[in-house]
Structure 1
Amino acid sequence: MVRAADGAERPARTSVWLEGRAPRGRGVRHGGQPSGLDRERITAATVRLLDAEGLARFSMRRLAAELNVTAMSVYWYVDTKDDLLELALDAAFGELGLPDAESKEDWRDQLRTLAAGYRGLLARHPWVTTLTGDFLNIGPCSTAFTSRVGQVIRDAGMPADGRPGATAAVLQFVYGAGTVESGERDFGFGLELLIAGIEAKVPRD
């Protein structure tokens, strides 16, 4: 059994990103509901509701009311509430602007940009902190962000065997800072310590 985002214990499930579910039709009429409903619109409405009312108050019925459809219409596009929360989680990560992979900007500045962006995301969407701990965070947007952090660390000269640990250290530091009230100065100081630690582990010619 696993504990889902709403606190209830449910049978173990795999991620929506691993179950091979193709996005369902756009604008399909189902059960007499109006056309124009699709996963993207449902996901965007979910993000808005989570921002406005929080994770504890979110429900499929409340979402359906926001969209002016029946709850069964929403289930035509997503199988479960948890699937929808995973989609919303990845949509939030899609807001992050990633430095160009071919950028000539110094890796330290790129890492600062990525860390600040992630911290800002957690501040705008407090529910992301909870869902990141509840679900496999492997949607395309989240994966792209994590990969970009890893690429920046690779560009710093970190050997291959040290990149996963360095990437995890950066992500976990920002995630931890997002769960507590930390001042800008404290966040910046901690990030600079991480950058200095990465530099110290890069082999010198």
Structure 2
Amino acid sequence: MVSARRTSVWLEGKSPRARKADQPSGLDREKITEAAVRLLDAEGLAKFSMRKLAAELNVTAMSVYWYVDTKDDLLELALDRVVGELAIPDTGPGTDWREQLRQLATSYRELFVAHPWASSLVGHFLNIGPRSMEFSRTAQQVIANTGLPLHLQSGAMASVFQFVYGFGTIEGHFRQRCAEAGMTQDEFFQHAMGIVREQPTYKENFEHAERMMEARGGDTVAEMRERDFQFALDVQIAGIEAMVVPDA
């Protein structure tokens, strides 16, 4: 029986085993994880099951359990797998921390847009897989490169990456909702705004919001969202710069 107190597949999960004679040829943990990511992307977290995964691989569920103990273990592996898609900047001497931070933030946002299911798993697991740890080490180094004193660095990381997490999660879920409705993002947005404008309380609650959307510019949802993201990231970077004490 698997203990309810298990912490991470990276600490307590079974190690990949050699294939038994009666196991399907060509099956390994990496291929199982890749198939899990494809299924999660296609159907989402709520519909994901080991039975569906086994069918995707054309094997029995017991064949999958030869390589992972639990569904949670596989989800943790899948999360680390997609974190490996993040672009990792060079943080060596002579590099600009602002550009490093922009690259990391942009890539982190893209992760949640491409894989909406991942946002539900971040924080649920310890995120100590090799790819997640590489991202974490790089983010820590970038924040250290800002010149912030050590006691402020964790707060700066939280400010930037929790903002990006929220932004990317909402964006990913919106894109998924549009796809489920069979609409483009612009079609869905215009449809939703049309319904809102018909409400009796529109003038009181939404006119100012609509003027703000018009003022920020952009002809499409993607353009408006990009302007918002870039400005919000500018605010984050300016805030860090303001907190750095100049060398005496």
> How high is the TM-score relative to the length of structure 2?
0.73
Larger radius of gyration: 2
Alignment partner of 1:99 is 2:89: yes
Superposed, 1:156-171 pairs within 5 Å as: 156-171=146-161
Unmatched 5+ residue regions in structure 2? 172-223
1:104 shift after superposition = 3.0
Q: Who is 2:7 aligned against?
A: 14
* Per-residue CA distance 1:33-84 (angstroms, 9 max, x = gap): 3221111010000000000111111110111111111100000000000000
* 8 Å Cα contact 2:9/2:73 also seen in 1: yes
Superposed, 1:33-182 pairs within 5 Å as: 33-102=23-92, 104-181=94-171
SS at match of 1:22: coil
CA distance in 2, matches of 1:203, 1:137: 32
CA distance in 1, matches of 2:157, 2:29: 31
The size of the alignment, in residue pairs, is: 193
CA distance in 1, matches of 2:55, 2:13: 29
1:105 shift after superposition = 2.9
CA distance in 2, matches of 1:84, 1:47: 10
- Alpha-carbon distance change, 126 to 20 in structure 1, aligned in 2, over 3 angstroms: closer
> What amino acid is the match of 1:76?
W
Unmatched 5+ residue regions in structure 1? 1-9
SS at match of 1:91: helix
1:103 shift after superposition = 5.9
> What amino acid is the match of 1:51?
D
Q: Who is 2:229 aligned against?
A: 187
* 8 Å Cα contact 1:158/1:203 also seen in 2: yes
SS at match of 2:11: coil
Runs of 4+ aligned structure 1 residues displaced above 6 Å come to none
* 8 Å Cα contact 1:33/1:70 also seen in 2: no
| Alpha-carbon RMSD | 1.7
CA distance in 2, matches of 1:149, 1:55: 27
> How high is the TM-score relative to the length of structure 1?
0.88
> What amino acid is the match of 1:156?
T
1:97 shift after superposition = 1.7
**Higher helix share goes to which structure?**
2
* 8 Å Cα contact 1:107/1:153 also seen in 2: yes
- Alpha-carbon distance change, 156 to 14 in structure 1, aligned in 2, over 3 angstroms: same
% identical equivalent positions? 64
